[in-house]
A and B are shown apart, each in its own frame.
Chain A
Amino acid sequence: MVDHLYYTLQLADNALVIGHRLGEWCGHGPVLEQDIAITNMALDHIGQARSLYQHAAKLFNELPQDEKANQFQSVALSLKISNGDALEEDDLPYLRDVWDYRNVLLTEQPNGHWGNTIARSFFYDIFQQLYYTELQKSSDEQLAAIAEKSLKEVAYHVRWSSEWVIRLGDGTAESKKKIQTAINDIWSYTGELFNVSEAEQAMIDKGIAVDTASIKDKWLQRVNEILNEATLTLPEDNWMHEGGKNTQHSEHLGYILAELQYVQRAYPNMEW
């Protein structure tokens, strides 16, 4: 059923988009050891994305024929589908356009400076750890297995981004100002992590998806613990952006996809 596909794409697109963003740092980090660390995390997310897209492709291939047609807007993908080709790992990430992507807006926000990237990862990593811990109980065994396999990596991500929040918050006056501003700026993109899309609700009802309401308090508590240690605070304004889960994106995603998909789009139907 199509909700199951959409929900899996939500997870897959999050993993790909944040992995892609972190990978943009490769070769440009503030110090060699951190260049290695952030590239490692990019790799973890891309690895998770691969497993999730394989699963999503399988879910798509199992849809009834009439549900497959007109599922996605992209001409390249529609052609493939109307030819009756089975989709594979790379088709969904490389051939869908912005209006079929389902990642949260948080993940597509630009890297900015080191503090902006750390703030984005910090909120996301703690969320992902709590979320994947629950996802291990999913009635979709494949998703449960991916969550279980990823959690070791995610634990490292949480430690890394939390330590950096503390280091920058409790470092110099300049770093404190920078990370506090970064946290204030990215905060309005965290609300969407807990919004439930229609597809997601259908999957929560089936025991496949995690009910985000169940982890929200814990998330906020952990975020505050680290911010306290870092001598930082959350902003008071709680107005939140949303849209990514329902395919309404910022302008940034288009540029990510323009790069990501360039070779596949310019030279279609080839093996690389």
Chain B
Amino acid sequence: MTVRDFQQAFDEKIDKEIAIEPRDWMPDNYRKTLIRQISQHAHSEIIGMLPEGNWITRAPSLRRKAVLLAKVQDEAGHGLYLYSAAETLGISRDEMIEQLHSGKAKYSSIFNYPTTSWADMGAIGWLVDGAAIMNQVALCRTSYGPYARAMVRICKEESFHQRQGYEILLNMSKGTEIQRKMVQESINRWWWPSLMMFGPTDDDSPNTEQSMRWRIKRFTNDELRQRFIDVTVEQCKILGMTLPDPELKWNEERGHYDYGPINWDEFWNVVKGNGPCNKERIATRVKAHEEGAWVRDAALAYSEKQKKRNNKTDHQAA
């Protein structure tokens, strides 16, 4: 078969919605795009552990502490599935981590914002996980098999997280005036960055068209953003809170909520590394990795010793 035949077979699979598997031929750019996207997604899970991990020692009740620990642990698990999915494309976890630490690989910019109050644990669950789910549900049918399967598992847990986050806010919103104030202040901080999670507008998203053709992406950034806004406005009403956008209103004709302009300067600024916590987040990961080096070395040395010992016993037995 020529490259052209391979390409044709690949295109046919995509058109027929047959999943692409690791051993299948795929265009180089398809592979590269997926490695970039899946590793970015994995890194987002790992960096995403930090803003919430920030409140584990200060959670306001033992139940909340346990739930938060479990949630951050789930994120580590998601990172693991996603690194494994990316490894099927021919890149190692070590290489990906190196790219994260050197700044070559990106992660979701939302995690460069600080968590300054307990209500942020609710707002992150509700808004940030909510926005992530909008993206991820669409990815459960993405064309690359291992990625799609990882997403199915992840989506189940994420929707649980979103409910937990919402429940934190609902509980606080039924509480005292200061608690309601805390909730509103947190929503005000997280709303716009959550909308930015869907990425630049379609006009400004150079990769969208190709990714849609490859069925890596199923919906455009703006479509998913709109869907998120429409459901979130309603959920916010139940909380008795407001979203910090004076232009937000129902548009009968479109059947959607209209919303005000997103501050894309802020978005690109954070992407470039100038967000409130970019440096801290990476420094924290690098520190954990460097301080863990002797531990990983020891584990490796021990397992090699064990292998040798086992070989010896095998020989003796034979």
Contact = CB atoms under 8 A, between A and B. Distances in A.
B60 A32 contact: no
Nearest to B182: A267
A36 B288 contact: no
A18 B70 CA distance: 17
Contacts of B289: 30
Contact of A175 (B70, B79, B297): B297
Contact of B295 (A175, A262, A272): A175
Given A43-B70, A270-B176, A27 B57 contact: no
A260 B58 contact: yes
B295 A23 contact: no
A192 interface: no
Interface in A172-200: 172, 174-175, 178
Contact of A172 (B49, B76, B294): B294
B297 A26 contact: no
Please classify how large the interface on chain B is, using the bins under 10, 10 to 19, 20 to 34, 35 or more: 35 or more
Interface stretch (A87-95, A144-152, A236-244): A87-95
Interface string A17-47: 0001001101111111111100110110011
Contact of A166 (B63, B76, B302): B302
B56 interface: yes
A161 to B, nearest CB: 14
Nearest to B72: A26
Contact of B62 (A39, A90, A171, A263): A90
B46 interface: yes
A18 to B, nearest CB: 13
Interface of A: 16, 20, 23-24, 26-36, 39-40, 42-43, 46-47, 49-50, 53, 89-90, 93-94, 113-115, 166-168, 170-172, 174-175, 178, 256, 259-260, 262-264, 267, 270-272
6 contacts: A23-B69, A40-B73, A43-B66, A167-B298, A171-B302, A270-B176
